Amino acid sequence: MNNTIKLAVHGAAGRMGQRVVALASGADTVDDTSGFTVVGAIDHSSHPKIGQDAGVVAGVRSLDVPVSADWPEKAEVVIDFSLPEAFDACVARCVSAACPLVVATTGLSDQQKESLAEAAQTIPIVWAPSMSLAVNLSMRMAQQITKALRDVAGGVDIEILERHHRFKADAPSGTALKFGELIADAMNADDPVKHVHGREGHTGQRSRNEIGYHAIRVGDNPGEHTIVFGMLGEKIELNVAASNRDCYASGALAAAKWLMRGNDGGPMPAGLYNMFDVLGMADADA
Ligand SMILES: NC(=O)c1ccc[n+]([C@@H]2O[C@H](COP(=O)([O-])OP(=O)(O)OC[C@H]3O[C@@H](n4cnc5c(N)ncnc54)[C@H](O)[C@@H]3O)[C@@H](O)[C@H]2O)c1
Ligand SMILES: O=C(O)C1=N[C@H](C(=O)O)CCC1
């Protein structure tokens, strides 16, 4: 009996969608079984790959699943790596089909984040700007470093540098913003933390309760974040970098599996989860 998880990929012809399709079809596993069967490969109706086999588009093998603008009936879980413009319809479809959802798309508006929370009242959703294990571990480390240094004599200046490929549409990255949110919480400052995006001109001295963000777009970089903790006389730089996109694709598949099988074999109830939940780091002493 085939008890693999029936997966639909939203944004299937994109850079990330292709890697999810490839890994879900067993391209990188020793025994060719990832635990998933790709049953849907959804993309925009105007995409030039519409109608082509999703496995072939992903560079693996024929899956007998065309890239299509239509949603499959039989998907048990959906992974979304698309665009904010495509997001609303994806969430609405998953809610109406009572289908668990992994949201990896970044650059969502505040209103879209609210509708995600609302949808999570009826279906289980994992939402994270980075599905990478190394990035999520680094986020926990950044929180710990911030707590250790926040009262250091002379103060600590925290700046977030991110580098991505030239095709990336949103800036700063969703991951950089998440690092900033977690670090701001850990700063536990009396005054609200200021989030400063780049600097130019006569900016004056840096204030103590700000976090700086710098978005670099270069070549084909699949994603790199450096958190600088600058003190008087010394500094720490926490650097986490992807060598390719498979860290995100395999993380998204782990999240989809977790939604279906949970920690004890049963499906997760409705709720909004993140990669800390999936990776068992939700209760880490951050
Ligand atoms: N969370 C993570 O770990 C992570 C990692 C990498 C990328 N991302 C994010 O994932 C998103 C996609 O990244 P990418 O590099 O694959 O981008 P991409 O542009 O290569 O792919 C996006 C795909 O979505 C498709 N699309 C557009 N409109 C659509 C619609 N209405 N319905 C269905 N599909 C539609 C596009 O045609 C394209 O194929 C971005 O927001 C990126 O920031 C997140
Ligand atoms: O390639 C992208 O686009 C990526 N986006 C994510 C973000 O915005 O944080 C994660 C890394 C890759």
Q: Could you report the per-residue pLDDT of 18-35, keeping only the tens digit for each?
A: 999 999 998 777 676 789
Q: What is the CATH number of the domain that holds 44?
A: 3.40.50.720
- Please confirm, yes or no, whether 235 is among the known catalytic residues: no
Cα–Cα distances in angstroms (integers) from residue 52 to residues 49, 103, 156, 258, in the given order: 6, 24, 53, 30
Q: Give the C-alpha separation, 164 to 57, whole Å.
A: 23
Q: Give the C-alpha separation, 236 to 156, whole Å.
A: 10
59 is in an annotated binding site: no
Q: Domain check: are 257 and 127 in the same one?
A: yes
**Which residues are within 8 A (CB) of 28 and not within 5 positions of it... i.e. 6 or more apart?**
22, 246
16 is in an annotated binding site: yes
- Ligand with an atom nearest the CA of residue 278: 1
- In the predicted model, what is the mean pLDDT of residues 129-144? 98
Q: What is the CATH number of the domain that holds 141?
A: 3.30.360.10
Catalytic residue among 47, 164, 178, 214: 164
* Total Cβ atoms within 10 A of residue 217: 13
Residues with CB under 6 A from ligand 1: 10-11, 13-17, 42-44, 47, 81-83, 85-86, 104-107, 128-131, 170, 248
Amino acid at 71: W
Q: Domain check: are 171 and 43 in the same one?
A: no
Q: Give the C-alpha separation, 213 to 38, whole Å.
A: 38
- Please confirm, yes or no, whether 164 is among the known catalytic residues: yes
Q: Which class for 278: exposed (0-12), middle (13-18), buried (19 or more C-beta within 10 A)?
A: buried
165 is in an annotated binding site: yes
pLDDT tens-digit map of 231-263:
999 999 999 999 999 999 999 999 999 999 998
Q: Which two tokens stand for residue 54?
A: 């999703």
Phi, psi of 114 (to 5 degrees): -65, -40
pLDDT beyond 60 at 100: yes
Give residue 153 CA to ligand 2 midpoint distance, Å. 35
Is ipTM over 0.95? yes
Q: Give the C-alpha separation, 144 to 132, whole Å.
A: 19
Q: Domain check: are 91 and 180 in the same one?
A: no
> What does the buried/exposed string (b/e) look like for 27-37 if buried means 16 or more CB atoms within 10 Å of the residue's CB?
beeeeeebbbb
Does residue 11 contact residue 54 with C-beta atoms inside 8 Å? no
- Ligand with an atom nearest the CA of residue 103: 1
pLDDT tens-digit map of 48-68:
999 999 999 999 999 999 999
Q: C-alpha angle with apex 15: 13 to 222, nearest 5 degrees?
A: 175
Give residue 219 CA to ligand 1 midpoint distance, Å. 18
- Ligand with an atom nearest the CA of residue 177: 2
**Which residues are within 8 A (CB) of 276 and not within 5 positions of it... i.e. 6 or more apart?**
136, 139, 140, 282, 284
Does residue 270 lie in a domain region?
Answer: yes
pLDDT tens-digit map of 175-211:
999 999 999 999 998 899 999 999 999 999 999 999 9
Q: pTM (2 decimals)?
A: 0.97
Q: Domain check: are 249 and 126 in the same one?
A: yes
pLDDT class of 286 with cuts at 50, 70, 90: low
Give residue 222 CA to ligand 1 midpoint distance, Å. 13
- Dihedral angle over CA of 140, 144, 146, 152, nearest 10: -170
Q: Domain check: are 43 and 102 in the same one?
A: yes
34 is in an annotated binding site: no
Does residue 283 lie in a domain region?
Answer: no
Percentage of the chain lying above the pLDDT 70 cut: 98
Ligand 2 atom nearest the C-alpha of 107 is 8
Which domain does 188 fall in, by range?
A: 133-241
The per-residue pLDDT for 285 is: 60
